[in-house]
Chain A
Amino acid sequence: MNWLGWLHDFFADPAHRSGPDSIVHRLLEHLAFSAEALGLSALVALPLGLLIGYSGRGLFLVTAVAGVARALPTLGLVTLAVLLAGVGDTAVLLPLTALAAPPMLVAAAEGVRGTDPDVRDAARGIGLTHPQTLLRVCVPAAAPTLLAGVRTASVQVIATATVAAYVGLGGLGRYVIDGLATRDYPTTVGGALLVVLLAVGVQLLFALLIRLAAPPGTRPGPRTRARRTGGAAPLTPTDPANPPALVKDAP
């Protein structure tokens, strides 16, 4: 149990300082690949989720997709994809993109559905069209929920990209898998530590973004509290104590 020794071996290794197996290169690979999968997924899942949430149609589909996706083993999908489509990053991109979609789909649908119906009616009443109501009223009000969905998806993609090193994907998972294969423990724990730091860093980044994205008036703070004691009804899209539970999802 010599953590300091292992981490010293890992970080002092010249191969981890420059070249294709360097930490910076592996980190960039991991980030680029995760961002690609997440971006592709968001392109499909977010608009679809917004439409489903706004129209209220197809909600059962969202629930079903989220349930099935949670039950599928990532390692199985990744190995199957590589056997069917051949070794290469494109083959791995497919399951990763598919796994990132359900949390974003659920968050988009749930977030838009959770906006106050009175606020929506007001938006329609002052002459906004349906697309305008969705984009200018519902999306800003649902921004924190949306971002929470993107956060869940990113964490999922980062973890799955680590597992996908087993089928030959680059990134930080390489250290973990190669270290395990060669019984090189310093490399394995060094890689695992970097993966953990990356996941925690992304979590913190999203926590900050979510705080910034909350529309004014829904943010907890002295201003809101003062308004509440002033007697006027607070303009909250969702009641934090009783969120609209379309799908009980993991935190």
Chain B
Amino acid sequence: MLDGEPLVRWHWLGDHLGYLADLTADHAVIALVPVLLALLLAVPLGLACARFPRLYQPLAAVFNVVYALPSLAVFVVLIPYTGLATRQTVMVPLTCYALAVLLPTAVDGLRAVPEPVRQAATAMGYGPWRRLAAVELPASVPYLIGGLRVAAVSSISLAAVGALVGRGGLGYLFVDGFQRTFPTPILAGIVLVALLALATDLLLVAARRVLAPWERGAAR
């Protein structure tokens, strides 16, 4: 319980602006680099799954199970391989979680190209690679960005749990505030995590407008 401790000590926030900025930057790296890695993996895997549908069912099942694994349990299991309080301990599982979200959206996106469009591209003399780059990938951008929004926001909130294994960016504020019975850093951490998630989400929405202008106004 708080014995006369105010909910927020504003001067603490003022005194620690640089510190909070450093933690936010660290948090962004720990949470978002895995999402980018997952995107790089999801596109080729999605292509393979769209081409060989038999591959998709087992892969989707595996990632469904992976997505359901509690993050703390996965972090601690990785410690002997990646070390205590290292970035990798948190980033490897986050990559898997993000991939679990992105793979189905990549497959959906690639499958969403209507067959006549595909045939039209072929008829215009597009080879498979050029068709992929000019037709299929652009058409799947709205799907991929939809998946990226979910994956990035979840990754940002999950990364905070990493504080319990010594590397959680803004999550450190929760551990610190709890140990000192000091709610100011905890509230600051919650707000900054939410703001980072919001900023990332807005950035992705803006990216969709640029990369898929034909979707403008579509409610997705």
The residues of A with any CB-CB pair to B shorter than 8 Å are 1, 67-68, 70-77, 79-80, 82-86, 155, 158-159, 162-163, 166-167, 173, 176-177, 179-180, 185, 188-189, 191-193, 195-196, 199-200, 202-203, 245, 248-251
Return 30 A-B CB contacts under 8 Å, by A number. Answer: A70-B150, A70-B153, A71-B156, A73-B160, A73-B161, A73-B170, A73-B193, A74-B160, A75-B161, A75-B171, A76-B160, A76-B186, A76-B193, A79-B174, A80-B174, A80-B190, A85-B1, A159-B71, A162-B70, A166-B164, A173-B72, A176-B76, A185-B79, A188-B76, A188-B79, A192-B72, A192-B76, A195-B72, A251-B63, A251-B67
> What's the interface size class on B, roughly?
35 or more
A112, B149: Cα distance in complex, Å: 25
Which of A70, A83, A158, A179 contacts B2, CB < 8 Å? A83
Does B13 have its Cβ within 8 Å of any Cβ on chain A? no
Pairwise interchain contact A203-B189, C-beta atoms closer than 8 A:
no
Set of chain A residues within 8 Å of B100, measured between Cβ atoms:
250-251
Which of B63, B178, B220 contacts A248, CB < 8 Å? B220
Chain B residues 23 to 70 lying within 8 A of chain A, measured CB to CB, are: 60, 63-65, 67-70
Set of chain B residues within 8 Å of A180, measured between Cβ atoms:
76, 164-165
Set of chain B residues within 8 Å of A167, measured between Cβ atoms:
178
Does B211 have its Cβ within 8 Å of any Cβ on chain A? no
- Please judge, given known A-B contacts A82-B178, A189-B77, whether A199 and B70 are in contact too, CB under 8 Å: yes
Pairwise interchain contact B77-A79, C-beta atoms closer than 8 A:
no
Question: What 9 A-B pairs are tightest by C-beta distance, nearest first?
Answer: A159-B70, A71-B197, A73-B160, A192-B73, A79-B178, A76-B190, A195-B73, A155-B68, A79-B174
Which of A68, A80, A192, A245 contacts B186, CB < 8 Å? A80
A179, B76: Cα distance in complex, Å: 10
A173, B164: Cα distance in complex, Å: 12
A170, B77: Cα distance in complex, Å: 20
Pairwise interchain contact B186-A74, C-beta atoms closer than 8 A:
no
Pairwise interchain contact A73-B171, C-beta atoms closer than 8 A:
yes
A48 to chain B, nearest CB (A): 22
Pairwise interchain contact B153-A71, C-beta atoms closer than 8 A:
yes
Set of chain B residues within 8 Å of A191, measured between Cβ atoms:
73
Chain B minimum-CB-distance residue to A173: B72
Pairwise interchain contact B77-A83, C-beta atoms closer than 8 A:
no
A170 to chain B, nearest CB (A): 15
A166, B170: Cα distance in complex, Å: 17
Chain B minimum-CB-distance residue to A161: B70
